[in-house]
Chain A
């Protein structure tokens, strides 16, 4: 991290704020051009922002998005593109839900049950990601392809297992199907918030811990240094004694393990079962959030909250007659414009840095200086 001077703080804020304003402008124009009122939209969003339940939902969504983003970011830091977070968390959530809901688990102390469930989820996520890592280091298969394929294969595996003959059970009268419901001892209680019937996920603490550990490992440990170094220059990392293959395997396993956590807040804090309506697609949200937050632990948290809020404001928009698709458009425009803004600021910084180096070399002066 660079030194915090007022100018650098200002610059750091200029990018995201400028971009948000720009994105709002673009969406406003789209709305106005299609006969929707931008004012109503802002109004609906402002109303949503004041409703405790929407805020709780936003925080809960953000919790999950954040975990997914960290999982993706671990790979990104090493120039590994784990598109497979999606498959990893779904498979992990399904299998750990089956375990957590199993009858024999009822006899275990609550803490152990929860820990076991989470551990299994991490193991499954890591294992599924490990396949991609294995293919990459032994056979050179691009993780982009292998994780796309593994996502699909996970879908088929889950639906194979989600069958009354195997790991699922049906409830009479319901068209849903899911794993056995996790009884109270296996659930993680949430935090009450006044004015909202929905609780904040208890596992938001887990997300926070994951964020802190991510930050600490990357910036304070030898391992984190080697991970970043590999991402910055593979050849330099090799020459400095880093085993890139080992790093690929470890970081993919870590990424998968964190991916395994993605389903946990929802599973242990709200659904208590893995069923047909377990939210899919979180891995892809994770990619967007990680990119928006620039793989930075705090940046991703902010991005996750923004994303969560936009997603949860959609209902309010819908009710006030604004097409909810505008949220998707808004998210896309925000990602693009934030990133463009970052790039512009980065260029400005590089120039400033070069200027500083130039000064250190005593090369800023022109004609007079040279004549010496």
Chain B
């Protein structure tokens, strides 16, 4: 697939990006970026949200064309006008967001665009054989005939990697592949990466988790505001130093200072059981209590019932058994509206799906979810002035970077969208905050701000249910920690004592008989 390295001397770099500049309307995503990736290494790319990492990788993968600059693969200059060109040059990419068609099978997703043929037809047998072979070789364990819709996140991630391997890529781009994985999964993945590296493949790796980067990378390039600010080797640098290079300031840590837990019960859940549409038990007899001023963290591999728990608490999903009490009031059968009015704030897992109206201005997004309370409404009428004024306040207090409150939410970057949501859900003094992955995909600066807001509200007696895949965040922010596994709360941990590794093994059920 890829051209032979030039005979003799040092091998040409697998990838050389020179003076890449890419402008979007109003934004220069990349400006004069220079990166050299040695063949057969893992090369990490770090930087804040919006620093331009994904854009750079998309350029390398032919999905976007640079305005200026050149790309050289194995020493030979190339121009990619579509991913097809990049794939032909031996480049594969696992995207930050899943690029999978839910309603197609794994096989169909994998072979798409590079189908084996028998006559004009698709050679299903050949495809199946090849997928099984790769899957076995790398221990990916995916069944080619399952529908992607039925897969969990971990499996989807592996399908993504399979897609790349299937095309025989020699250079792999992994854009935040670990964001949704637990430590054990991350270790497995890194094991795979090392295998691949041993076979001479080159890997470009993007992550916000700096310790991961330090553990797996051979070289690290730091990108800030669209340009390369440093190239370092992991031996000579610490996570703290890396973060400083990224943002130019100290690395914040999730940390609660002193306990504010009171003995006033805010939320009490007893025997909560939820069935899925097809009758499976997705939440099984779950019970817990959260007090005023307490943060309860829930750890778990995605897809073990967290989403269902949150939706059941919010009244989006009905429960088949159990009791939910909020400040002494039974809300088991209450509507979502009623629960929100009773003082539940909600930071959803997927802000685009549940948190925002992307095609509506910020001030209308301020009303969303709070359309029955001041300052947004007066009686049945909207209080447009009130809502706008309060949106200004949120933009101010939460440092939402926007030219105004009249722009559509879609125009904001993810981190800024998240800050708006946090600000909104913290308004009107809620008694309980349900926060699902509140800092996912948010850069370190914004992360610190969000943590600080949660801390402050907790000090003012807010009860918080925190669900996160970031174990450091969970350990640092929680007063109490529970692990959820297959719809059941299986263990409680003391955040002061537990390590991410212990938590990780509890999450996967390792060492337990079930």
User: B371 within 8 Å of A by Cβ?
Assistant: yes
Nearest residue (CB) in A for B225 is: A370
Nearest residue (CB) in A for B369 is: A240
B325-363 near A? 1/0 per residue, CB < 8 Å: 000000000011111100000101000011111111000
Query: Are B336 and A239 interface neighbours, CB within 8 A?
Result: yes
Query: Are A357 and B340 interface neighbours, CB within 8 A?
Result: no
Contacts of A370 in B (CB 8 A): 31-32, 224-227
Query: Are B25 and A238 interface neighbours, CB within 8 A?
Result: no
Main secondary structure on chain A at its contact with chain B?
Answer: helix
Which of these, B224, B368, B404, B411, contacts A229 with CB under 8 Å?
Answer: B368
Contacts of A225 in B (CB 8 A): 364, 367, 371, 382
User: A3 within 8 Å of B by Cβ?
Assistant: yes
Known: A221-B380, A359-B403, A360-B401. A236 touches B368 (CB 8 A): yes
Shortest CB-to-CB span from A188 to chain B, Å, is 30
**A219, B359: Cα distance in complex, Å:** 15
User: A235 within 8 Å of B by Cβ?
Assistant: yes
**A351, B26: Cα distance in complex, Å:** 8
User: B402 within 8 Å of A by Cβ?
Assistant: yes
Query: Are A363 and B382 interface neighbours, CB within 8 A?
Result: no
**A333, B380: Cα distance in complex, Å:** 42
Contacts of B406 in A (CB 8 A): 2-3
User: A175 within 8 Å of B by Cβ?
Assistant: no
Which of these, A226, A235, A350, A363, contacts B28 with CB under 8 Å?
Answer: A363
**A219, B27: Cα distance in complex, Å:** 33
Shortest CB-to-CB span from B374 to chain A, Å, is 12
User: A220 within 8 Å of B by Cβ?
Assistant: yes
Shortest CB-to-CB span from A37 to chain B, Å, is 45
Number of chain B residues whose Cβ lies closer than 8 Å to a Cβ of chain A: 54
User: A172 within 8 Å of B by Cβ?
Assistant: no
Shortest CB-to-CB span from B8 to chain A, Å, is 38
B68-106 near A? 1/0 per residue, CB < 8 Å: 000000000000000000000000000000000000000
Known: A222-B381, A236-B356, A239-B348. A353 touches B371 (CB 8 A): no
Shortest CB-to-CB span from B338 to chain A, Å, is 8
User: A355 within 8 Å of B by Cβ?
Assistant: yes
A221-236 near B? 1/0 per residue, CB < 8 Å: 1111110110011011
Shortest CB-to-CB span from B378 to chain A, Å, is 10
User: A42 within 8 Å of B by Cβ?
Assistant: no
Contacts of B401 in A (CB 8 A): 357, 360-361
Known: A239-B346, A241-B340. A363 touches B31 (CB 8 A): no
**A235, B404: Cα distance in complex, Å:** 26
Number of chain A residues whose Cβ lies closer than 8 Å to a Cβ of chain B: 41
Contacts of A229 in B (CB 8 A): 357, 360, 368, 371
User: A165 within 8 Å of B by Cβ?
Assistant: no
**A233, B336: Cα distance in complex, Å:** 16
Query: Are A236 and B353 interface neighbours, CB within 8 A?
Result: yes
Shortest CB-to-CB span from A218 to chain B, Å, is 10
Contacts of B372 in A (CB 8 A): 222, 241
Query: Are A222 and B335 interface neighbours, CB within 8 A?
Result: no
Within 8 A of B (CB), among A283-309: none
Query: Are A239 and B355 interface neighbours, CB within 8 A?
Result: yes
Within 8 A of A (CB), among B17-53: 21, 23-28, 31-32, 50
B140-162 near A? 1/0 per residue, CB < 8 Å: 00000000000000000000000
User: A243 within 8 Å of B by Cβ?
Assistant: yes
Which of these, B335, B357, B403, B407, contacts A232 with CB under 8 Å?
Answer: B357
Contacts of A367 in B (CB 8 A): 31-32, 227
Query: Are B368 and A240 interface neighbours, CB within 8 A?
Result: yes
User: B181 within 8 Å of A by Cβ?
Assistant: no
User: A358 within 8 Å of B by Cβ?
Assistant: yes
Shortest CB-to-CB span from B465 to chain A, Å, is 15
Residues of chain A at the chain B interface (Cβ within 8 Å): 2-3, 219-226, 228-229, 232-233, 235-236, 238-243, 350-361, 363-367, 369-370
23 contacts between A and B (CB under 8 A): A2-B406, A221-B380, A222-B371, A222-B380, A224-B382, A225-B364, A225-B371, A226-B371, A233-B356, A233-B358, A236-B353, A236-B357, A239-B346, A239-B348, A241-B337, A241-B339, A353-B407, A354-B411, A358-B27, A360-B402, A360-B403, A361-B27, A370-B226
Residues of chain B at the chain A interface (Cβ within 8 Å): 21, 23-28, 31-32, 50, 224-227, 314, 316, 335-340, 346, 348, 353-360, 364, 367-372, 377, 380-382, 384, 401-404, 406-408, 411-413
Known: A220-B382, A356-B407, A360-B402. 8 other contacts (CB 8 A): A225-B371, A233-B353, A233-B357, A243-B337, A358-B27, A366-B23, A366-B28, A367-B227
Question: Which 3 A-B pairs have CB atoms at the shortest separation, nearest pair first?
Answer: A358-B26, A355-B26, A240-B369
